[in-house]
Structure 1
Amino acid sequence: MAQPPRLDGAPGYRQETLDSLLGPDGSAAPAAQALSDTVFVVLDLETTGGAPDGGGITEVGAVKVRGGRQLGTFGTLVNPGERLPPFITVLTGITDAMLAPAPRIEAVLPSLLEFLRDAVLVAHNAPYDVGFLKAACARHGYPWPRPHVLDTAALARRALTRDEVPNRKLATLARFFRSAVEPTHRALDDAKATVDVLHGLIERLGSFRVHTLGDAIEFAKAVTPTQRRKRHLAEGLPHVPGVYVFRAADDRALYVGTSKDIGTRVRSYFTAAEKRARISEMLAAATRVEAVECAHPLEAQVRELRLIAAHAPPYNRRSKHPDRVVWLKLTAEAYPRLSVVRQLADDDAAYLGPFSSRRTAELAAAGMYDAVPLRQCTLKLSPRTPTPACALAELGRCPAPCEHRISPQEYASRAASPFRTATHGDPGPVVDALLARIDTLSGRQRYEEAAVVRARLVALLRATVRMQRLDALTRLPELIAARRDQVGGWEIAVIRHGRLAAAATSPPRLHPRPTLDMARATAETVQPGPGPVPAATAEETERILAWLELTDTRLVDTSGDWVSPIRGAARFSTLLAKAEAAAPGKEWSVRPALTDRSDDARSHRL
């Protein structure tokens, strides 16, 4: 529990919220535990008033129950070590004389914590009572057992209407449920009254399809009527890795997601933790949830991407249109130029990408124009017939191939070759040229212009690093890898040209080879194609790369060498991270970056 300091230097305590009282690991109680089988300790405290760090406990009362039967009681006065305020004496009838011989709270806590052990703590306005107990434990060195907590006041706010009860005070609820004990502002009496209120609320919860402890704790939170009405959609789903699809009445896919545990993840959409407006709208339209079980989380991630691409669900924001990417193409002509295209062609042109938007591609192209003398016009130039030059030639920004001031061979060497080399090999010359320009502009205190060039460098270098990573994997006709799962088995993936062709899981204590051979034999046939992502989307291949690069993933077999250029774009990863982290418009120190980048130059043979 957070302990904000007080002005006098003593540790402070604050009243807890319901979300902080849910269980040992901060999660809801076990969903399968029936309320009729749950042991509850219904607690009430009387205090000197105020907040936990400004008052003390004067009386403790607790009743242990299960299945409607009382199992035990706990009650004692507590000496708070201070005089009682007069209004507390009037309210409770407890006097200083009554408290003088009573034990101090540090002597009561061991017995009380033992009484609470392994039970669900119930209280009316639970954050108040739990706040005092946690403060007392912290003050006297007792670890808080972090029981699951159920608040009868919160349950009543959800289960009872204003027409039934005018308020949710304990006395009002005790009368409504005809409690055998009337609340008297004495701890044990109030705890016994709360027991009757709890039992009455549990009966009422049945009409809301709340039958388990986990359901009751979630029900007590601020869920919407739609979430409460549709929570049955989460019933019966498997607790395995996979993909889930929320579908509408006409069977349209509304939302696609993935999880290591489908049942638990879908259940979370019907809890108070889910506050997204678009998800609330989606739940209102959903009529069923379809589960697609997968061998392991990698297959689930890939299937999610493919389903989103196939159905474009309206409530998914990402990965809906993987085909909407663009590429920078260096045209195959006498004087090549850069062109933004939507598809790869099986030709002799050089490509860089994929880019998620035309703007990003044009930003990377501008970086190339800053680094090498590529022409920026869109004319198709003839090596025989000259064409009048544009203003860029007069400004020295173009070697004017249109007027044949440069031969096709020299143009290829100075302009076209650096692009080809940067995309498939060493982007060092291009990076150095851009860094030199940034250094010059920074030295002249032209920081805004330097920031523009830096943005171009980031777009260009990010695309180059990405494409070389993708290209290294998609060149391989087949790669088989395995990774230990949490229960001692093996997650197996067969990858062909960067596409997940098969996935399987080998059980624990069995040799994985038969499972691996079966996965390979039944794997999808994948044909190569042009570019670095011939058989899958870039996003799918990147998910596979992330899985392959986990420290505990093992390469089993490959049909070739999985390599990247020794002086490739990957050696600029530190420089790229530094450039991405630099705030727009601020001065960026280039010299340290030039030093840092050399540290990453090494072979990437895997």
Structure 2
Amino acid sequence: MADNRHHPRLESRTEHATRTEHATGAPRYTQPTLGGPLVDDWRDTPLADATFVVLDLETTGGTAEDCGVTEIGAVKVRGGRRLGTFGTLVDPGRPVPPLVTVLTGITTAMVSAAPALPAVLPGLLEFLRGAVLVAHNAPYDVGYLKAACARYGHPWPAPPVLDTLPLARRLVDRDEVPDRRLGTLARYLRLPHQPTHRALDDAEATVDLLHALCERLGGHRVGTVGEAVAFCRAVSAVRQRQRHLADGLPRAPGVYLFRAADDRPLYVGTSRDIGARVRTYFTAAERRPRIDEMLAAATRVEAVVCAHPLEAEVRELRLIGAHAPPYNRRSKHPQRTVWLRVTDEPYPRLSVVRQRRGTPDSCLGPFPSTKAAERVAEAVREALPMRPCGQRLSARTVSAACALAEIGRCLAPCQHRVTPQQYADRAVAPLREATLGDPGPLVAVLLARIGALSRAERFEEAAAVRGRLSALLRTTTRMQRLSALTGIAELVAAHPAPGGGWELSVVRHGRLAAAGVSPPRVHPQPTIDLLLATAETVAGGDGPVPCASAEESERILHWLERPRTRLVRVSTPWALPARGAARFAALLAQAETASRSAEAG
């Protein structure tokens, strides 16, 4: 909130001041008008609704690292209306060069009584908060601010930046102006304010230029901040030619499909605003490889409007799994997940399989690759005396012993040194308990192993065991969370909708069966009853993901665990094991942080 206490009126430009222009037009010298936090989807914010801070710096002419700033001027505007100004001279801590004085009129005597940049910078950063930063030749001004933040210990807020220089290069022809300098543009476009090489005057002139350029952007179908930022960059001919594919798409949450001439899906995506998101594909903001190739092959864009973002995410996953669009990176092998399975034989072992079979406690997964599954298998074999060999053993016939049996690293079931029951009690039962219950015994063994290796200064081996422990905990935690959700026959949940009302979801065995939105100021029960009556019928099954992909159930879990989500109805209690893997969350976080640090080092 702005501080409205009056400050002495300062008439001389040799003094420093921060001034706020009010709607009445009467200037009062106050604290800077503070902006709110910038919305996460600033790219979709209409230009008329965005808050801009137009900035100009005057410097001693040194490098940005020298932070030789002599004057700061900034104007905050929204919808063509000035909200406030920030202007001050700054003591650069050195004499002002004569050439700079000739150009700007700023002398060493003028800045000698001004505050230094460390005193001014916090107020300027607060003035910038929640706004789009605008400047003419923005890299120059932004470079000085970034260097100042780094030098004086302030985090750079990284606001969106709109540069009026490249914007003018694209919107103002050479026939209109000889060059795109601020003074030239102000003169030829007859802007109300003319630049004088003083920070606040130049910022005011840049405000006028911004408004003039925004008027021209409308003719190019550019209406949001993200589109304006992207418009500053060069756009390929393919994107310019295919821009019409975005026409007429709904401004609603849902899924969009780029289709080829033969109706094949080329790419599937999701957004809270389909129309705004698809338009970004035809701007320079889209930098992913092969997008131009995809756009050249596309003939239309199909939109599937969804009730809320969760339904859109789920539909996207299902469409990618069904069609494997060639330009979706994760659709290359969407169904190639694997499991670790305890084999059904007298002396069981771990086997990597494509499909889950057996009882829920006999499988671990799903894993995205065989390599990921083998890493967890190594952790299990490190903690339990489960045989690593791949041959099938008989309870009647003795087989040849391997090297591990000879050195005492295996129970040697091949030599019948243990009975099948003894083997099951020592090697299999703890794993079955860890899968859906308590992994504590396995964790204790692995922690002891890490400690022994560390004391022996075998740090690389200790790090490898720590990585396997992390993989095991991550897998068991994931399985138990998924099993807790998919074991519920029916769950109804609600989350407040952005515009009022409730986002509603019906989940059956971890699969989204129905989705809808109840209107604002209307009791949601009739909408819930309608969703339950029309929801997909989902038959249950065994395992952590019996009726949907693991990714779909995890998206649902994330939505259910959001703040303010309410459970409306649950057919059975939703709970995790009392001594389950979730109690090792802090240990898992510590292990993964250590692993990332080791990789970075």
User: 1:442 is matched with which residue: 454, 469, 476?
Assistant: 454
Q: CA deviation at 1:467?
A: 0.8
Return the alpha-carbon distance in structure 1 between the equivalents of residues 589 and 163 of structure 2: 48
Q: CA deviation at 1:481?
A: 1.4
Q: Once the two structures are superposed, what CA deviation does each residue of 1:222-268 show, in whole Å capped at 9, x if it has no partner?
A: 14234444444333322222122233344332322222222333333
Match in the other structure for 1:63: none
Q: CA deviation at 1:202?
A: 8.4
Return the alpha-carbon distance in structure 2 between the equivalents of residues 213 and 347 of structure 1: 54
Q: CA deviation at 1:507?
A: 0.9
Q: CA deviation at 1:165?
A: 7.4
Q: Give 2:265's aligned amino acid.
A: A
Return the alpha-carbon distance in structure 2 between the equivalents of residues 427 and 121 of structure 1: 52
User: Is the CA contact 2:182–2:195 (under 8 Å) kept in the aligned structure 1?
Assistant: no
Pick closer, same or farther for the CA change 1:270–1:31 going to 2, 3 Å. Answer: farther
Match in the other structure for 1:490: 502
Q: Once the two structures are superposed, what CA deviation does each residue of 1:58-95 show, in whole Å capped at 9, x if it has no partner?
A: 9x9xxxxx9xxxx9xxxxxx9999x9988789889x99
Counterpart of 1:482 in 2: which secondary structure? Answer: strand
Match in the other structure for 1:221: 232
User: 1:562 is matched with which residue: 574, 583, 596?
Assistant: 574
Match in the other structure for 1:403: 415
User: 1:389 is matched with which residue: 394, 397, 401?
Assistant: 401
Pick closer, same or farther for the CA change 1:287–1:31 going to 2, 3 Å. Answer: farther
Q: Once the two structures are superposed, what CA deviation does each residue of 1:1-29 show, in whole Å capped at 9, x if it has no partner?
A: xxxxxxxxxx9xxxxxxxxxx99948469
User: Is the CA contact 2:361–2:433 (under 8 Å) kept in the aligned structure 1?
Assistant: no
Are 1:474 and 2:474 counterparts?
no
Return the alpha-carbon distance in structure 2 between the equivalents of residues 244 and 358 of structure 1: 32
Pick closer, same or farther for the CA change 1:223–1:400 going to 2, 3 Å. Answer: same
Pick closer, same or farther for the CA change 1:367–1:154 going to 2, 3 Å. Answer: closer
Return the alpha-carbon distance in structure 1 between the equivalents of residues 384 and 210 of structure 2: 77
Are 1:289 and 2:291 counterparts?
no
Return the alpha-carbon distance in structure 1 between the equivalents of residues 475 and 58 of structure 2: 64
Match in the other structure for 1:380: 392
Pick closer, same or farther for the CA change 1:506–1:368 going to 2, 3 Å. Answer: same
Q: Which moved more, 1:350-359 or 1:251-260?
A: 251-260
Q: CA deviation at 1:541?
A: 0.6
User: 1:209 is matched with which residue: 184, 208, 220?
Assistant: 220
Q: CA deviation at 1:48?
A: 9.7
Q: Give 1:369's aligned amino acid.
A: R
Pick closer, same or farther for the CA change 1:85–1:550 going to 2, 3 Å. Answer: closer
Q: Give 1:581's aligned amino acid.
A: T
User: Is the CA contact 1:302–1:543 (under 8 Å) kept in the aligned structure 2?
Assistant: yes
User: Is the CA contact 1:156–1:168 (under 8 Å) kept in the aligned structure 2?
Assistant: yes
User: Is the CA contact 1:329–1:340 (under 8 Å) kept in the aligned structure 2?
Assistant: yes
Q: Give 2:236's aligned amino acid.
A: P
Pick closer, same or farther for the CA change 1:295–1:404 going to 2, 3 Å. Answer: same
Pick closer, same or farther for the CA change 1:277–1:410 going to 2, 3 Å. Answer: same
User: Is the CA contact 1:29–1:148 (under 8 Å) kept in the aligned structure 2?
Assistant: no
Counterpart of 1:364 in 2: which secondary structure? Answer: helix
Return the alpha-carbon distance in structure 2 between the equivalents of residues 327 and 492 of structure 1: 33
Are 1:366 and 2:378 counterparts?
yes
Q: Give 1:293's aligned amino acid.
A: V
Pick closer, same or farther for the CA change 1:329–1:192 going to 2, 3 Å. Answer: closer
Counterpart of 2:595 in 1: which secondary structure? Answer: coil
Pick closer, same or farther for the CA change 1:167–1:29 going to 2, 3 Å. Answer: farther
Match in the other structure for 1:591: none
Counterpart of 1:365 in 2: which secondary structure? Answer: helix
Pick closer, same or farther for the CA change 1:407–1:280 going to 2, 3 Å. Answer: same
User: Is the CA contact 1:465–1:570 (under 8 Å) kept in the aligned structure 2?
Assistant: yes
Return the alpha-carbon distance in structure 2 between the equivalents of residues 184 and 259 of structure 1: 42
Return the alpha-carbon distance in structure 2 between the equivalents of residues 338 and 121 of structure 1: 57
Return the alpha-carbon distance in structure 1 between the equivalents of residues 552 and 570 of structure 2: 19
Superposition pairs for residues 46-65 of structure 1, below 5 Å?
Answer: 50=61, 54-55=69-70
Pick closer, same or farther for the CA change 1:295–1:388 going to 2, 3 Å. Answer: same
Pick closer, same or farther for the CA change 1:57–1:365 going to 2, 3 Å. Answer: closer
User: Is the CA contact 1:309–1:320 (under 8 Å) kept in the aligned structure 2?
Assistant: no
User: 2:468 is matched with which residue: 456, 459, 476?
Assistant: 456
Match in the other structure for 2:352: 340
Match in the other structure for 1:518: 530
Q: CA deviation at 1:299?
A: 0.9
Match in the other structure for 2:335: 323
Pick closer, same or farther for the CA change 1:268–1:24 going to 2, 3 Å. Answer: farther
Match in the other structure for 2:589: 577
Pick closer, same or farther for the CA change 1:428–1:174 going to 2, 3 Å. Answer: closer
Larger radius of gyration: 1
User: Is the CA contact 2:470–2:591 (under 8 Å) kept in the aligned structure 1?
Assistant: yes
Q: CA deviation at 1:470?
A: 0.9
Are 1:243 and 2:255 counterparts?
yes
Counterpart of 1:583 in 2: which secondary structure? Answer: helix
Return the alpha-carbon distance in structure 2 between the equivalents of residues 194 and 368 of structure 1: 65
What TM-score, normalized by structure 1, do the two folds share? 0.70
Match in the other structure for 1:545: 557
User: Is the CA contact 1:326–1:354 (under 8 Å) kept in the aligned structure 2?
Assistant: yes
Q: CA deviation at 1:357?
A: 1.0
Pick closer, same or farther for the CA change 1:499–1:204 going to 2, 3 Å. Answer: closer
Q: Once the two structures are superposed, what CA deviation does each residue of 1:529-580 show, in whole Å capped at 9, x if it has no partner?
A: 3321110000111111111122311112222222222111111111111111
Are 1:530 and 2:530 counterparts?
no
Q: Give 2:232's aligned amino acid.
A: K
User: Is the CA contact 1:476–1:559 (under 8 Å) kept in the aligned structure 2?
Assistant: yes
Return the alpha-carbon distance in structure 1 between the equivalents of residues 446 and 143 of structure 2: 59
User: Is the CA contact 2:361–2:435 (under 8 Å) kept in the aligned structure 1?
Assistant: no
Q: Which moved more, 1:337-346 or 1:313-322?
A: 313-322
Q: Once the two structures are superposed, what CA deviation does each residue of 1:344-385 show, in whole Å capped at 9, x if it has no partner?
A: 125698111111111111111111111111112222211111
Counterpart of 2:329 in 1: which secondary structure? Answer: coil
Return the alpha-carbon distance in structure 2 between the equivalents of residues 289 and 517 of structure 1: 34
Pick closer, same or farther for the CA change 1:163–1:392 going to 2, 3 Å. Answer: farther
User: Is the CA contact 2:339–2:373 (under 8 Å) kept in the aligned structure 1?
Assistant: yes
Pick closer, same or farther for the CA change 1:50–1:401 going to 2, 3 Å. Answer: closer
User: Is the CA contact 1:305–1:319 (under 8 Å) kept in the aligned structure 2?
Assistant: no
User: Is the CA contact 1:447–1:585 (under 8 Å) kept in the aligned structure 2?
Assistant: no
Matched positions, count? 515
User: 2:428 is matched with which residue: 402, 413, 416?
Assistant: 416
Q: Once the two structures are superposed, what CA deviation does each residue of 1:468-527 show, in whole Å capped at 9, x if it has no partner?
A: 111111112111111222233111111111101111111111111111011111111112
Match in the other structure for 1:111: none
Return the alpha-carbon distance in structure 1 between the equivalents of residues 89 and 409 of structure 2: 87
Match in the other structure for 1:135: none
Match in the other structure for 1:596: none
Match in the other structure for 2:29: none
Q: Give 1:224's aligned amino acid.
A: V
User: What runs of 5+ residues in structure 2 fail to find an aligned partner?
Assistant: 1-15, 17-34, 75-79, 82-87, 115-131, 145-158
Return the alpha-carbon distance in structure 2 between the equivalents of residues 479 and 32 of structure 1: 41
Superposition pairs for residues 111-122 of structure 1, below 5 Å?
Answer: none
User: Is the CA contact 1:469–1:564 (under 8 Å) kept in the aligned structure 2?
Assistant: yes
Q: Which moved more, 1:191-200 or 1:210-219?
A: 191-200
Return the alpha-carbon distance in structure 1 between the equivalents of residues 90 and 577 of structure 2: 73
What TM-score, normalized by structure 2, do the two folds share? 0.70
Pick closer, same or farther for the CA change 1:335–1:179 going to 2, 3 Å. Answer: closer
User: What runs of 5+ residues in structure 1 fail to find an aligned partner?
Assistant: 1-10, 12-21, 61-65, 72-77, 105-119, 133-146, 588-606
Pick closer, same or farther for the CA change 1:209–1:402 going to 2, 3 Å. Answer: same
Are 1:157 and 2:169 counterparts?
yes
